[in-house]
Amino acid sequence: MKKIGLIAICLAFATQSFAQTRGECGFIADEAFMARTLANKKEYHKHINNRDSEVRYVPLNFIITGKTDGSVMATKEENVLDMLCRLNESYAEANIQFYIYDGFEYVYNDNTYEDPGVGGAVDFFINPKRAWPDAVDILIGKNAATPGGSGLGITLGHYNPSKDWVVIKSSEISYSSETFPHELGHYLSLNHPHNGWDADPWDADEHGNPVSISSSPSNNAVPIELVDGSNCETAGDFLCDTPADYNLGFGWPNCNYTGGAMDPNGDLLAPDENNYMGYFLECANDYYFSTEQFALVNADLDLRENVLATDWTPIATEITGEGSFGFPESGEVLPYFNNFEMYWNLPEGATRSLVEISQNFLFLTTEFKAVVNGNSMWIGQDLLLPNKAYYVRIRPFNDYVTCTNSLTFTSNFTTGVGTNTDNRTLDLDWSVYPNPVSSNTAVQVDMNMSAAMTAQLDLVSMSGQVIESAQLDLQMGSNNWTVGQNLSTGVYFVRINTAEGTAVKKLIVQ
């Protein structure tokens, strides 16, 4: 894969008002992390020549944050799909592939949105149901700062060893950014090639040339790595197929280092500018991980097998063919505007759909967006307006195959002014409270029935997934249903289906 954008790994130039600001990776290895790396090295040799082994699948839980009122989200789901596509290309030679563990999670909180890796994440993980213990939590926010950063520039992403999660700045959620493969490398015990120089890049005036110090300036416990490789097992990133690097990429304008830095022996450094874990920008060649780096991340996965759901193989079928719409058909004018099921045909191998509905044919704004498991969704009472033209865009994918932007298909239809008589609206005296509700509070559904009848009650997510369901024999008079304790934040629908019709109310969980 070729570098496409200006962003390289954790180091980037962010252009704003014609000024350039240097970005950085917020991860600096501490003693415990380096001990973990060295422990993995004792077992990594069995993975050096593992390219004929079976693929190992690693589950990821993507947590997209947004403002409390839902008006702004840190990123779009399609950007995450593109980023995951790039990640899997990056780790393919290691026979490691990543997949979406259980859809996307959404958190609506101003503090979490501003920076999920600092104060906001504390509130987020109070509710244990919001974190999936079997998957790698990926927190996506407007910023990705960390108190442990080097202070060299804007932090674009970091791995937090104590929380064991990865935080990514919203600007890095794309196919063209190398930040995500880099940070997953840290998650899997990889250090920077310039380990020990993270907060203090080489400078001839400060460090000498040849370098006149014996231990690294950012961490005195790490010896200066020598060019001849004689101490590669105990210096730098502790790997011998990644050349000595004194953070020479930071501040260097391109992918061809000619700065003339010399190690204490007077040997010229020749860093690997194309390595994913380094800091060099704008390399014309492919970025990659070294053989020993791939062996090390596999050794780390050996230790994580009791933590991650690595023994489960996701649906990894390639997606082929084209999708098409079933109902409404393209260009169809409906006599009604609500209470109908929209469905479509997915290409072979696809199991999920990213659905967007917009009144703008360019989808510059969207009235609705959701990730749907399958190929249909319920268009309820309050989703669409009467007598309006709508455009629908669907991107198919499955848990593993997300390089599917070219398979996106679209349609359009126009709503009418009536109510769907095949799905009649139930005239019912009922309430859902509290609403909005906090995530750890149960919801009461009270129904005042004019006659006895049987009803199907469903709690439905925005994507159409039925979260809870019950079939009740409702008596004339007062009836109630308790539902929804420990829900993730977001928007849900409470739906009552009877022979007399359907009633739907929106529920907001904060």
Is 358 a member of any domain?
Answer: yes
Question: Both 413 and 496 in a single domain?
Answer: no
- 502 found inside a domain: yes
Together in a domain, 206 and 345: no
One domain, residues 29 and 174: yes
| 188, two tokens | 């899997």
pLDDT of amino acid 438: 81
Query: CB under 8 Å to 260, separation ≥6 — which residues?
Result: 209, 268
Nearest C-alpha neighbor of 44 from the set 301, 305, 308:
301
Same domain, 204 and 177: no
Distance CA 317, CA 366 (A): 30
The answer to whether the Cα torsion of 426, 430, 436, 437 is positive or negative is negative
Dihedral (CA of 461, 466, 470, 472) sign: positive
Whether residue 409 lies inside any domain: the answer is yes
Domain boundary among 421, 439, 454: 421
CA 342 to CA 384: how far, in whole Å? 12
* pLDDT reported for residue 17: 27
Residue 9 tokens read as 């790994």
My answer on whether 175 and 28 are in the same domain is: yes
Burial class from Cβ neighbours inside 10 Å (0-12, 13-18, 19+) for residue 290 reads buried
pTM: 0.79
Give the residue numbers spanning the domain of 493: 424-509
Closest CA to 395 of 106, 81, 4: 81
* 121 shares a domain with 42: yes
Helix (H, G, I), strand (E, B), or coil: what is residue 113?
Answer: helix
Residue 119: CATH number of its domain:
3.40.390
Tell me, yes or no, whether 105 lies in a domain: yes
Burial of residue 411 (CB within 10 Å: 0-12, 13-18, 19+) is buried
Are 60 and 4 contained in the same domain?
Answer: yes
What does the block give as tokens for 379?
Answer: 């268009």
Both tokens assigned to 54: 């079976």
Q: What is the pLDDT of residue 229?
A: 97
Total domain count, the chain: 4
Statement to judge: residues 307 and 376 lie in one domain: no
- Based on the fold, state whether residues 147 and 253 are members of the same structural domain: no
DSSP tag of 329: P
- Three-state secondary structure call for residue 417: coil
Confirm whether 390 is domain-assigned. yes
Spell out the per-residue pLDDT of the chain, length 510, in tens: 333 332 333 433 333 322 233 356 878 899 999 999 999 999 998 888 765 578 889 999 999 999 988 889 999 999 999 999 999 999 999 999 999 987 888 888 888 899 888 765 555 554 444 445 688 999 999 998 876 655 666 788 989 888 888 999 999 999 988 899 999 999 999 999 999 999 899 999 999 999 999 999 999 999 999 999 999 999 999 999 999 999 999 889 889 999 999 999 999 999 999 999 999 987 866 899 999 999 999 999 998 877 787 666 777 789 999 999 989 999 999 988 988 889 999 999 999 999 999 999 999 988 888 898 888 888 877 789 999 999 999 999 998 999 999 999 999 999 998 877 555 566 778 888 888 888 778 888 998 888 888 888 888 776 566 788 888 888 888 988 888 777 877 777 788 888 777 777 778 887
Q: Which CATH number is 479's domain given? A: 2.60.40.1930
pLDDT for 428 equals 79
> Among 421, 451, 481, where does a domain finish?
421
Whether 318 is covered by a domain: the verdict is: no
